[in-house]
């Protein structure tokens, strides 16, 4: 028999005054407090106010048939390709239409019917990607890898939106890419950031792109998109929270529609040599272990190297306060 | 912001704020009537988290022997009540302890035992000296407002007694020597200072820590209450018998509440420490550390060790605890009278509740 313990109190949304305090702390170089990375109530509020009101990658175009069921932070949704060829979706719980958009071979959705369209959310990003020579309509799905690990979704977000950790955690990246920040480019919009890094002539695991530029975009809250100027493929990492301390990452690879099987196979073999995701997963799980103690001090970042974290944590607070 | 202020800034009493009024009434009733705590105190993960955070992290725990920290820079990592810590020998040859969590973005700083003159977090390369101070953070110079001095590792209390090491995560807790009842002498046995570490044995047991401590006390020792020792005491005295080279000899127990005992046998040739580590609500690790007189011959030590390894008493304790835990989980368990570990825990939790009522803070997402 399992004893049921009644909840000690009802969930409370952080007050406006508290949010203002946390915003001031972010401005001073601190992160959100450790409790925000493990607390069940805060997580429930984040799901409701942030994650279920944001745009997420759902699946690739070939996956959608009569009914593709998916779940985003507790919102059950169903996508369906209709007779006119357009993919539409609805929320299972509320039985109302939700916003769905296609970008190249990718299907994105926002469970909030009142959400802005994708191009308002990720303002100008499609144009930027196209300017980089990546017309995503020219690509098709190749394969994907799924990782489930023990970390809060923001632990993974914090980890993946900065490359301050690359020299110490990712030997392959350190070897293949220019780690001098003065030679890298960073820019951000409200809901996305971009990081451009030159690939060294002796590029190691990214040998196919030696001497070219690497582009990394993070689309708030949970998706990265990366490619190099070689322009033969791109991949996305779409993270999905499963619990306050658990996340699922789908790393989905796309290639040029006309790519021959042997080239695709060779790319896949080369990509399998990368340890980057496994290294990040191990890092995130150790950080979560520290948060789970309940006594981890609030983090202090170096704004010049990690301002993307502050940028996105501000967005989280904004949406929590809305 | 200095080191002490940072660590003392942990408001431990906040952890009992999630304790429901009905649970508080159960604690009060148990202490008033001498009745056992209901079974959910041994099976509910949320209650366990409250105990661990509000009480166990403010107690003294055995943390091993000083042999692994013989030279400057030696570092040992372990977990105390779920908190990762690092113990080390610093530049001044003192043994010190820190919470093993980086002040930058909460990664574990030291991943395994090592010997180095610094501690470097692999996440971003932030490097701390053996005094816990942040010595260097890559690219820190690009942020003129950043002051390394403000981000030392959190300090913990460490006490060395002979070759034994003791830690308390709470810097504000009474020192090891200044507990409400000072540390005990060993009327029957060898002195702690005269012994060296011999060997360890460990067991993983699927039972709640209180169930194990109470079962162990029930089977092996009779607690002798001393005058003026209420539930506020940290040391409980007990007597019993233990097996030494196959013979039952009288011994005395000093329990450092809540989960550690020092056992002296009347043969005065050494002592052993039994220490519980909590892993989960229904899982503990029990470590028995045996110390022997410095001048004991290798032959005698080997004989004692061999007979000790053959001793199955603890295996039997472990089996019994696991059966009782299972009964608790399935049937709600029998209602035995309130046992010492549970009574002690109830008293400490109620203290924390009172303290929390006095220091109510406005925010729940403590920082």
Check CB contact under 8 Å for B122 and A297.
no
Please report the pLDDT score of residue B142 as a whole number: 87
**Least CA distance to B326: which residue of chain A?**
A1
Mean pLDDT calculated for residue range B3-30:
74
Cis status of the peptide bond prior to B364, with omega within 30 of 0: no
> Which residues, at least 6 apart from A200, have a Cβ–Cβ distance to it below 8 Å?
A175, A176, A177, A178, A210, A211
Helix (H) or strand (E) holding B306: helix B298-310
- State the pTM of this model: 0.91
Q: What is the pLDDT of residues B250-265, one digit of tens each?
A: 998 988 889 999 999 8
The DSSP secondary structure of B147-172, one letter per residue, reads: -GGG-PPPEEEEEEETTEEEEES-TT
Please report the pLDDT score of residue B228 as a whole number: 53
Please report the pLDDT score of residue A65 as a whole number: 86
Number of H-type helices and E-type strands within chain B? 8, 17
Residue linked to tokens 């690497």: A214
Order of strands, sheet of A96-103, starting from the edge strand that comes earlier in the sequence: A56-60, A106-110, A96-103, A87-91, A75-81, A68-72
Q: What is the pLDDT of residues B64-88, one digit of tens each?
A: 999 999 999 999 999 999 999 999 9
Q: What is the pLDDT of residues B80-129, one digit of tens each?
A: 999 999 999 999 999 999 999 999 999 999 999 999 999 999 999 999 99
Given B19, B125, B362, which is nearest A168 (Cβ)?
B125
Pairing mode of beta strands A96-103, A106-110: antiparallel
Please report the pLDDT score of residue B184 as a whole number: 65
Pairing mode of beta strands B247-256, A233-243: unpaired
Please report the pLDDT score of residue B367 as a whole number: 44
B236 compared with A259, residue with greater pLDDT: A259
Q: Where are the alpha helices (DSSP H) in B55-94?
A: none
Check CB contact under 8 Å for A29 and B122.
no
- pLDDT, mean over chain B: 87
Please report the pLDDT score of residue B354 as a whole number: 86
Helix (H, G, I), strand (E, B) or coil at B73: coil
Please report the pLDDT score of residue A248 as a whole number: 98
Contact B190, B221 (CB under 8 A): no
Contact A54, A111 (CB under 8 A): no
ipTM of the prediction greater than 0.90, yes or no: yes
Residue B361 confidence (pLDDT) above 60:
no
Counting as low any pLDDT under 50, the low residues of chain A are: 1-10
Residue linked to tokens 């509440």: B257
Please report the pLDDT score of residue B8 as a whole number: 44
Chain A residues near residue B103 by CB distance under 8 angstroms: 297, 299-300
Given A169, A293, A303, which is nearest B122 (Cβ)?
A169
Please report the pLDDT score of residue B3 as a whole number: 38
Mean pLDDT calculated for residue range B144-172:
93
Check CB contact under 8 Å for A33 and B366.
yes
Check CB contact under 8 Å for A296 and B139.
no
């Amino acid at each position: 028999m399992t004893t049921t313990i009644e909840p000690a109190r009802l969930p409370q949304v952080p007050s406006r005054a508290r949010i203002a305090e946390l915003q001031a702390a972010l401005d001073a170089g601190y992160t959100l407090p450790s409790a925000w990375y493990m607390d069940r109530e805060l997580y429930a509020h984040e799901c409701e106010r942030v994650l279920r009101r944001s745009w997420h990658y759902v699946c690739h175009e070939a996956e959608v048939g009569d009914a593709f069921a998916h779940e985003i932070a507790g919102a059950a949704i169903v996508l369906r390709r209709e007779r006119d060829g357009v993919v539409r979706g609805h929320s299972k719980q509320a039985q109302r239409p939700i916003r769905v958009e296609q970008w190249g071979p990718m299907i994105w959705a926002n469970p909030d019917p009142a959400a802005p369209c994708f191009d308002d959310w990720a303002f100008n990003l499609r144009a930027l990607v196209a300017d980089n020579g990546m017309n995503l309509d020219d690509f098709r799905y190749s394969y994907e890898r799924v990782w489930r690990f023990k970390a809060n979704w923001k632990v993974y977000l914090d980890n993946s939106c900065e490359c301050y950790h690359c020299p110490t955690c990712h030997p392959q990246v350190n070897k293949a890419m220019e780690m001098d920040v003065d030679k890298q480019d960073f820019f951000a919009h409200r809901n996305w950031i971009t990081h451009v890094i030159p690939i060294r002539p002796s590029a190691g695991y990214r040998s196919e792109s030696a001497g070219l530029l690497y582009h990394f975009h993070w689309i708030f809250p949970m998706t990265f998109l990366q490619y190099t100027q070689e322009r033969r493929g791109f991949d996305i990492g779409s993270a999905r929270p499963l619990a306050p301390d658990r996340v699922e990452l789908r790393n989905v690879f796309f290639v040029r529609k006309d790519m021959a099987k042997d080239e695709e196979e060779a790319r896949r073999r080369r990509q399998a040599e990368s340890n980057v995701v496994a290294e990040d997963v191990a890092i995130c799980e150790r950080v979560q272990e520290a948060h789970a103690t309940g006594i981890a001090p609030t983090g202090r970042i170096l704004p010049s190297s990690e301002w993307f974290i502050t940028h996105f944590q501000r967005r989280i607070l904004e949406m929590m306060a809305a | 912001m200095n080191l002490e202020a940072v660590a003392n800034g942990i408001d431990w009493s906040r952890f009992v704020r999630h304790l429901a009024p009905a649970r508080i009434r159960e604690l009060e009733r148990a202490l008033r009537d001498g009745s056992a705590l209901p079974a959910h105190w041994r099976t509910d993960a949320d209650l366990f988290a409250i105990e661990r955070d509000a009480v166990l992290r403010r107690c003294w725990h055995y943390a091993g022997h000083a042999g692994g920290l013989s030279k400057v820079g030696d570092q040992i990592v372990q977990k105390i009540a779920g908190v990762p810590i690092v113990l080390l020998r610093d530049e001044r040859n003192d043994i010190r302890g820190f919470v093993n969590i980086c002040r930058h973005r909460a990664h574990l700083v030291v991943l395994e035992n090592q010997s180095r003159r610094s501690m470097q977090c692999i996440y971003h390369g932030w490097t701390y000296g053996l005094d816990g101070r942040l010595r260097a953070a890559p690219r820190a110079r690009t942020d003129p407002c950043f002051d390394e001095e403000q981000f030392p590792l959190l300090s913990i209390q460490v006490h060395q007694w002979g070759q034994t090491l003791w830690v308390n995560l709470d810097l504000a807790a009474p020192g090891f020597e200044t507990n409400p009842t000072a540390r005990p002498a060993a009327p029957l046995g060898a002195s702690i200072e005269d012994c060296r570490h011999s060997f360890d044995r460990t067991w993983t047991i699927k039972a709640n820590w209180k169930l194990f401590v109470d079962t162990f006390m029930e089977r092996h020792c009779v607690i002798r209450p001393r005058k003026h020792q209420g539930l506020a005491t940290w040391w409980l005295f007990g007597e019993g018998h233990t097996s030494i080279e196959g013979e039952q000899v009288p011994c005395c127990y000093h329990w450092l509440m809540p989960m550690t005992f020092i056992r002296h046998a009347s043969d005065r040739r050494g002592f052993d420490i039994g220490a519980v580590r909590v892993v989960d609500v229904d899982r503990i690790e029990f470590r028995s550390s045996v110390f022997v007189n410095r001048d004991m011959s290798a032959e005698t030590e080997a004989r004692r060790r061999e007979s000790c390894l053959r001793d199955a008493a603890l295996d039997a304790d472990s089996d019994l605890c696991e059966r009782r835990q299972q009964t608790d989980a399935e049937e709600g368990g029998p209602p035995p009278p309130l046992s010492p570990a549970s009574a002690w825990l109830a008293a400490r939790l109620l203290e924390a509740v009172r303290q929390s009522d006095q220091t109510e803070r406005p925010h729940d997402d403590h920082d």
